[in-house]
Amino acid sequence: MEATVVKNAGSHFLLSHLPLWDPFPAVLRGKVRLERSVATNPVAVGDRVTYEMPDQVGHDGGAGGAGRHSRLDRESPAVITGVLPRSNYVIRRSTNLSRQSHVIAANLDRAVLVVTLYFPEIKLPFLDRLLVTCEVYGVRPVIVLNKIDLYREEAPEQIQAFCDIYRGAGYTVLECSALTGEGIDALRSICSEGTSLLSGESGVGKSSVIRALDPTLEPKIGNISIAHLQGKHTTSLYEMYPLSGGGFIIDTPGLRGFGLVDLEKEEISKYFPEMLRVADSCRFIPCTHTHEPGCAVKKALDEGLISPERYNSYLGMLEEDKKFR
């Protein structure tokens, strides 16, 4: 039978027959680990998996299998036997600078990238690596500038500059406040269909955004699998929640580093939309957009069509290739 991974707690998982929300525990068959050993986690939240029950009594064998064992003894977890092909995913290089990588989530309709101007101070190169990864793996990003209530009066120019940079590059930017509710209705509408990944650096307020989207989620956190997660650190959990207004959202631990995976230096500029729009006009192809004469990207930079902040992030990805991958 098939189900979707809705929680990853290391060696233990929760599965559900989406769009039906009926979480039940599962463990991973050893050979799946070996077959999918490229990443540190062979199974990620959002993955569609095949599974078996230790005791098949009670299955009626009907088509689809959804909800066929809601009455089975949940003390005996299902066994994940395989991972179905992913439509897309978000992946990062492990922060210890090894060659290992980690799949954050899979089969996404969008990635909601939460940032703040201050507290913590935004790191544009970090955000740009997230955006490039979304572009590479076919995940539509939405940028949420959270805690906007703190900056509206104190830093209006910085707000405008940030929005100009990323809206000018072609991204959706929502100005939000989980505290006051500003922008939350717009974000809720975006997340009401399909599956959304919520990601960002530690301290940007992801949990507060989730509670603002659906206040009923707060008391449910940790309740559905407490018996199977003893000894696990909740900060390491990757978990999906159903939103009362529709759709599903995946919460992730705060990120402190983000390295690019499976991307050659020559390809990086293709995943900056504002560079891609003009790159075909470069005199030399391929062009690194660094020193070549007749470079259309550098011309667009000089004309203000490409922001220097984004261009500097691009240069950083070229120069810091060994460090971040």
**Per-residue pLDDT tens digits for 222-244:** 333 334 433 333 345 789 999 99
The rounded Cα 102 to chain-centroid distance in angstroms is 12
Range 89-251 has CATH code 3.90.850.10: no
Phi and psi at 149, nearest 5°, equal -65, -25
Cα 196 to Cα 112: distance, rounded to the nearest angstrom: 7
- Return the structure tokens found at 164: 């100009």
Of the candidates 104, 119, 110, 118, which has an alpha carbon nearest to the alpha carbon of residue 43? 104
The CATH number that domain 265-324 falls under is: 1.10.40.50
Fold match between domain 2-83 and domain 265-324: no
Give pLDDT tens digits along the chain (325 positions).
Answer: 999 999 988 778 999 999 999 999 999 877 665 455 567 778 999 999 999 988 753 444 433 444 444 434 456 899 999 999 999 999 887 655 556 788 899 999 999 999 999 888 888 998 999 999 999 999 999 999 999 998 888 889 999 999 999 999 999 999 999 999 999 999 999 999 999 999 988 888 898 999 999 998 863 333 333 344 333 333 457 899 999 999 999 998 776 566 676 678 888 999 999 999 999 999 998 899 999 999 999 999 999 999 999 999 999 988 865 454 4
| Partner residues linked to 145 by β-bridges | 115, 175
3-state per-residue secondary structure call for the chain: CEEEEEEEECCEEEEECCCCCCCEEEEECHHHHHHCCCECCCCCCCCEEEEECCCCCCCCCCCCCCCCCCCCCCCCCEEEEEECCCCCEEEEECCCCCCCEEEEEECCCEEEEEECCCCCCCCHHHHHHHHHHHHHHCCCEEEEECCHHHHCCCCHHHHHHHHHHHHHCCCEEEECCCCCCCCHHHHHHHHCCCEEEEEEECCCCHHHHHHHHCHHHHHHCCCCCHHHCCCCCHHHCEEEEECCCCCEEEECCCECCCECCCCCHHHHHHHCHHHHHHHCCCCCCCCCCCCCCCCHHHHHHHCCCCCHHHHHHHHHHHHCHHHHC
The CATH number that domain 2-83 falls under is: 2.40.50.140
Domain boundaries, the chain: 2-83, 89-251, 265-324
Dihedral of alpha carbons 100, 102, 108, 114, sign: negative
Evaluate if pTM is beyond 0.75. Answer: yes
pLDDT digits (tens, 9 = 90+) for 95-121: 555 567 888 999 999 999 999 998 888
